[in-house]
Amino acid sequence: MDRSAAEALDRDDPLAHTRDRFDVPDVLIYLDGNSLGALPKAVPQRVNDVITQQWGHDLVTSWNKQGWWDLPDAVGSKLARIIGAQPKSVVISDATSVQLYKLLMAAARLRPGRSTIVVEPTSFPTNAYIAASVADVLGLTVRWWSPADEPDISAVLDEDTAVVSLCHVDYRLGRMHDGRAITQQVHDTEALVLWDLCHSAGAVEVQLDDWDADFAAGCGYKYLNGGPGAPSFAYVNPRLIDDVRQPISGWHGHAAPFALERDYRPAEGIRRLQTGSNSVIAMAALDAALDAFDGVTMTALRAKSLALSDLFIALVDERLAALGATIEAPRSHDQRGSQVCVRTENAYGFVQALIKRGVVGDFREPDLARFGFTPLYLRFVDVWTAVHQMAEVLESGEHELPENNVRAPVT
């Protein structure tokens, strides 16, 4: 396929206009929005206003006057549509890892007498670490489920299963679970499910209410573009919220925070997941970032994500196979997230050489170069150019140069 065919796809792209909502440097082909989303143009102005006007001028009155107090709920409700949840069932706060701890503790406590938490051994490390620490605190056991060995999760579920904690889309290989089917299987054993949506929210279709999911959490800084260290989000199914007790009971989650009572009483609804003051600057940045999704349906977003990764896979097959690089990603649409890996010799050097050419992806041990497809700001021609550059790197041997093989702390 030649470049003009990719340009034709851009001309027919119903989401072509949303790229203009972002500041993506022209010199970059940014295929790492699954790690850190690009900067939405609305963010700097909003953050500047929060700092100079709201903080600088209005000071403490901004908690009321500028709606600071309500930001966790307001941003959560705005985000809810993106993950198929109703408003007021989602809030933002904390780092994802902390959020996972709070939700997993809350979930396990709803199943007293059951002793296992089911996790995938290939989860993102933090997910497994958090499961182990919750198990440690509550005296439970982690049970590993490896879909590669046992495709049917029912085989590891029984009347002892308290919670199943799964990443909807796998961070390495981009494999996507069937959220609806697994939720049903977990409920068949009367256990609860916690979905990690870090690599799903803002990239693939998620229907939490429709799946009847119990809990979910995810990052604000990947496909949601909230900026480095953006607050995470939490979802609790409204049918459970009245019984939910999260473990870090702070004053922001109290029923009457300014009554300053001695004893803790959880707030009504999703607000009870709050603990203490969050970064207002970071919440405002995420709030402004989410406006980039205005008028975009998740169906349209998903269709473009698949079209981008289909094109990438086809071009890698066509141009890189002879150079020893192969696709490592599910070929079927219903199992593919919004990222694709290329397996190649010296993947680290390959990624570094590409970054020098302006094509930004990342490296995952031991031999994977990972590329994310962000439908709001990526063009088909970017995908074409990226694979063209990959072919040039492999043909020239740039990936073997010593300067491309010096390891930095973040890969």
Ligand X SMILES: *Cc1c(COP(=O)(O)O)cnc(C)c1O
Residues that bind ligand X (CB under 6 A): 95-97, 124, 126-127, 167, 171, 196, 198-199, 219, 232
Residue of 22, 30, 101, 124 with catalytic role: 124
Instruction: State the minimum distance, in angstroms, from the CB of residue 123 to ligand X.
Output: 7
* Cα 100 versus chain centre, distance: 13
370 catalytic? Reply is yes
Of the two residues 84 and 226, which places its CB atom closer to ligand X in the complex? 226
Instruction: State the minimum distance, in angstroms, from the CB of residue 398 to ligand X.
Output: 29
348 catalytic? Reply is no
124 catalytic? Reply is yes
Of the two residues 126 and 385, which places its CB atom closer to ligand X in the complex? 126
Instruction: State the minimum distance, in angstroms, from the CB of residue 260 to ligand X.
Output: 31
221 catalytic? Reply is yes
- Cβ atoms 62, 55 nearer than 8 A: yes
196 catalytic? Reply is yes
Residue of 21, 143, 370, 379 with catalytic role: 370
Of the two residues 56 and 121, which places its CB atom closer to ligand X in the complex? 121
- Cβ atoms 363, 371 nearer than 8 A: no
Residue of 30, 221, 312, 348 with catalytic role: 221
Helix, strand or coil for residue 286? helix
Q: How many angstroms separate the CA atoms of 116 and 361, rounded?
A: 37
Instruction: State the minimum distance, in angstroms, from the CB of residue 113 to ligand X.
Output: 29
- Cβ atoms 198, 219 nearer than 8 A: yes
Of the two residues 95 and 142, which places its CB atom closer to ligand X in the complex? 95
Across the beta sheet with 141-144, what order do the strands follow? 90-93, 232-236, 215-218, 192-196, 161-167, 116-119, 141-144
Radius of gyration over alpha carbons of the chain, in Å?
Answer: 22
For tokens 């800084």, what's the residue? Answer: 221
- Cβ atoms 326, 368 nearer than 8 A: no
Of the two residues 218 and 330, which places its CB atom closer to ligand X in the complex? 218
Instruction: State the minimum distance, in angstroms, from the CB of residue 191 to ligand X.
Output: 20
Q: How many angstroms separate the CA atoms of 113 and 276, rounded?
A: 31
Residue of 13, 32, 73, 196 with catalytic role: 196
For the annotated catalytic residues, the residue numbers are 124, 196, 221-222, 370
